[in-house]
Amino acid sequence: MKIARVVGNLISTIKDKSFKSYKLMIVEYLNPDGTPDGKRQIAFDAAHAGVGDIVLVNVDGGAANMFTGDKELIADLTICGVLDSFTINGKQTVVQHGK
């Protein structure tokens, strides 16, 4: 799992039926100091995240199946939680949602 910030969303008029009623969000992974790390990615949103939210992204590929109960759904990256706070190396960060 990785911590990321939601920086945008995708609009798709045609998509696989298993994705119906779920959003696809653009995320950027974050370093411990909060700076962006690497290229932006597209993630399946199982946590109803919004742009600006700090989220927990599961990168193993099986989380979307578990959250939806759909064993046929395929998603490499899944937003599985919107974070309120997190602690890294003893430093706690409280998240201000939508910023």
pLDDT tens per residue, range 13-72? 777 776 767 789 999 999 888 899 999 999 999 899 999 999 999 988 777 777 777 777
Could you list the residue range(s) of the whole structural domain that residue 53 is in? Answer: 2-94
Q: What is the pLDDT of residue 18?
A: 67
Domain annotation covers residue 50: yes
Number of domains observed in the structure of the chain: 1
Nearest C-alpha neighbor of 4 from the set 61, 90, 89, 77: 77
Q: What is the pLDDT of residue 66?
A: 75
Domain annotation covers residue 86: yes
Is 86's pLDDT higher than 90?
Answer: no
3-state SS assignment for residue 9: strand
Spatial distance between the Cα atoms of 19 and 87, rounded to a whole number of angstroms: 33
**Separate counts of helices (H) and strands (E) for the chain:** 1, 7
Give the pLDDT band (50/70/90) at residue 97. Answer: low
Domain annotation covers residue 47: yes
Q: What is the pLDDT of residue 69?
A: 75
Domain annotation covers residue 99: no
Domain annotation covers residue 77: yes
Q: Residue 56's domain is classified under what CATH number? A: 2.40.50.220
Give the pLDDT band (50/70/90) at residue 98. Answer: low
